[in-house]
């Protein structure tokens, strides 16, 4: 672990092993931290906070920029580590490293743009000044599916704002987190400003984060159920919260769209990271007039996807995270088929030579999906494309919004008026119009409803780590 600028073992002396999810091979071990370690890390962050927040924005920016340079210099090394530890294809891992580095550079610049303002007063003898100051110690909890970029998306704005951080990464991908903290250390981050606590059991760490009075903000990416539990526990001390939670994205293809172009886009975003992405489309609403062409092209694209070890450059599909994830995907597919959905391809666990210990599921295409099926309501988080035919374009907005989630949505149409109506009417935080990648460090990322609170990235991202202070001066 990395606490107060030093690499340390857990107080208990315990450690836990890390495995390659594709073949089950042990690839390393890390300290198994507990409550005492989380408390030590929070104490270090609290001690470092006054000096770090007092540093100029230009000093903080220089350290983040140096971290950006180091991350890009180690891009191939980080991508190979990510592919081995998380399972994603190495090409996708390289894209993630670039995305992760983008947050370091973006917030290195945003640190220098935390402008205040003056507000006119109705009184001649009064002046109003508004300033923005860091919230204090931040507790960050990051997921396994994007084990590098989700760290920098939280660390970079927090550090740029002048906050100090204690981060707990997902228990299945701590080696990637360690590599990121090695970069921060080499970039010259002062002791105690960012701290890393690894643990096989996340619950004791989370309990310390939510109850400790020195922690003033929690930022979390993960499931909606865990996010709700953290929010409930943190309410006792009124901590600031930002959360990026589950999704159930609609992918809507109108009759005027090019079905082949839309299907290629659908395949690209659906099977990104083996479907283990919060913005992955779960419900593909395709107008019946172009349904056959869309399904034909999508099936062709799926048939070309090869599963295997991520370090193989020809592999596009990696393993699911664990047996529970695979069982959930299989259950949804079995339920859909039993209720009348047509299985076009896939629909089975893959037992590949040498990869029997990995949780591989065949890229799958279902058509004829209906609202009574589990896959229509539940987030899948796996490589299954569920196609739902529709006829009435007037009803599709209500159908798409019929979910408790509200993270991402996709629309394919050539009608600019329809595109604007859908953009304005969809109750989702991110809308891709003929675009399967509406994300960037420069763009706000986050959801509505049960998909989360707050935004990451963009100008909004740094304000999640700032308090607004008003000064009224009588002159």
Q: Quick one: average pLDDT of 424-432?
A: 98
Could you report how far apart the first and last alpha carbons of the chain are, in Å?
A: 52
Report the pLDDT value the prediction gives residue 209, as an integer from 0 to 100: 98
pLDDT tens for residues 382-423?
999 999 999 998 899 999 999 999 999 999 999 999 999 999
Q: Which of 163, 278, 359, 464 is catalytic?
A: 278
Cβ-based burial of 174 (10 A; exposed 0-12, middle 13-18, buried ≥19): buried
Pick the CATH number of 249-433 from 3.30.479.30, 3.30.1360.230, 3.40.50.300, 3.40.309.10: 3.40.309.10
State residue 36's pLDDT score: 98
pTM, full prediction: 0.96
> How confident is residue 439, by pLDDT bands cut at 50, 70 and 90?
very high
Q: Which pLDDT value is given to residue 90?
A: 96
Q: Which residues are 349's β-sheet partners?
A: 361
- The pLDDT of residue 354 is 83
Q: Which of these is catalytic: 244, 379, 450, 464?
A: 244
Is 278 labeled as catalytic in the residue annotation? yes
pLDDT, tens digit, 9 for 90 and up, residues 258-298: 999 999 999 999 999 999 999 999 999 999 999 999 999 99
- Torsions phi, psi of 38, nearest 5? -60, -40
3-state DSSP assignment of residue 182: helix
Query: Is position 244 annotated as part of the catalytic site?
Result: yes
pLDDT for residue 314 is more than 90: yes
Write the pLDDT tens digit of every residue in 330-363.
999 999 999 999 999 999 999 988 888 999 999 9
Query: pLDDT tens digits for 84-134?
Result: 999 999 999 999 999 999 999 999 999 999 999 999 999 999 999 999 999
% the chain with pLDDT above 70 = 100
| Residue-wise pLDDT tens digits, 40-99 | 999 999 999 999 999 999 999 999 999 999 999 999 999 999 999 999 999 999 999 999
Please give the structure tokens belonging to residue 255: 């009759």
Following DSSP, what letter does each residue of 106-147 receive, concatenated? HHHHHGGG---EEE--SSTTEEEEEEEEE--EEEEE--SSST
Strands (E), 21-169: 26-31, 117-119, 126-134, 137-141, 164-168
Domain 2-245+449-474 in CATH 3.40.605.10: yes
What separation in angstroms does the CA of 142 have from each of 3, 154, 173, 262, 460?
17, 9, 10, 32, 19
DSSP per residue, 195-227: EE---S-HHHHHHHHHH-TTEEEEEEES-HHHH
pLDDT at 157 over 90: yes
Q: Which of 22, 93, 16 is nearest to 326 (CA)?
A: 22
Across all residues in the chain, what is the average pLDDT? 97
Confidence of residue 205 (pLDDT cuts 50, 70, 90): very high
State pLDDT tens for residues 16-42.
999 999 999 999 999 999 999 999 999
What letter would DSSP give residue 445?
B
- Domain boundaries in the chain? 2-245+449-474, 249-433
Tell whether the model's pLDDT for residue 366 goes beyond 90. yes
């Amino acid at each position: 672990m990395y606490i107060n600028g030093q690499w340390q073992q857990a107080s208990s002396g315990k450690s836990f092993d890390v495995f390659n999810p594709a073949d089950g091979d042990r690839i390393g071990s890390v300290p198994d931290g507990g409550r005492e370690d989380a408390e030590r890390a929070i104490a270090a962050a609290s001690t470092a906070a006054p000096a770090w927040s007092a540093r100029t924005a230009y000093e903080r920016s220089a350290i983040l920029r140096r971290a950006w340079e180091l991350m890009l210099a180690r891009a191939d090394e980080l991508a190979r580590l990510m592919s081995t530890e998380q399972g994603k294809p190495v090409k996708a891992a390289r894209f993630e490293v670039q995305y992760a580095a983008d947050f370091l550079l973006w917030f290195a610049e945003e640190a220098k743009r935390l402008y205040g303002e003056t507000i006119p007063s109705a009184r001649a003898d009064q002046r109003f000044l508004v300033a923005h100051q860091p919230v204090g110690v931040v507790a960050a909890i990051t997921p396994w599916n994007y084990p590098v970029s989700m760290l920098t998306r939280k660390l970079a704005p927090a550090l740029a704002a002048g906050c100090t951080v204690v981060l707990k990464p997902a228990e299945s991908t701590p080696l990637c987190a360690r590599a990121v903290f090695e970069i921060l250390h080499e970039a010259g981050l002062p002791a105690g400003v960012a701290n890393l606590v690894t643990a096989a059991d996340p619950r004791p760490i989370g309990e310390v984060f939510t109850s400790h009075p020195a922690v003033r903000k929690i930022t979390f990416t993960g499931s909606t159920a865990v996010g709700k539990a953290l929010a409930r526990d943190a309410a006792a001390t009124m901590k600031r919260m930002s959360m990026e939670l589950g999704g159930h994205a609609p992918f809507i293809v109108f009759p005027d769209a090019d079905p082949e172009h839309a299907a290629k886009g659908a395949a690209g975003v659906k099977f990104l990271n083996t479907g283990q992405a919060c913005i992955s489309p779960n419900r593909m609403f395709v107008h019946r007039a172009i349904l056959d062409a869309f399904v034909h092209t999508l099936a062709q694209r799926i048939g070309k996807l090869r599963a295997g070890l991520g370090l193989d450059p020809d592999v596009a599909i990696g393993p699911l995270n664990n047996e529970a994830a695979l069982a959930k995907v299989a259950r949804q597919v079995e339920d859909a088929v039993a209720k009348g959905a047509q299985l076009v391809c896939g629909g089975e666990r893959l037992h590949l030579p040498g990869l029997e210990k990995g949780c591989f599921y065949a890229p799958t295409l279902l058509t004829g999906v209906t609202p009574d099926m589990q896959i229509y309501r539940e987030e899948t988080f796996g490589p299954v494309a569920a196609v739902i035919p529709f006829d009435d374009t007037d009803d599709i907005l209500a159908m798409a919004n019929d979910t408790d989630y509200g993270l991402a949505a996709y629309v394919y149409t050539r009608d600019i008026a329809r595109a604007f109506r859908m953009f304005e009417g969809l109750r989702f935080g991110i809308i891709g119009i003929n675009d399967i990648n509406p994300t960037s460090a420069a763009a706000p990322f986050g959801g509505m409803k049960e998909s989360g609170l707050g935004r990451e990235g963009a100008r909004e991202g740094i304000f999640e780590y700032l308090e607004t202070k008003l000064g009224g001066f009588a002159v």
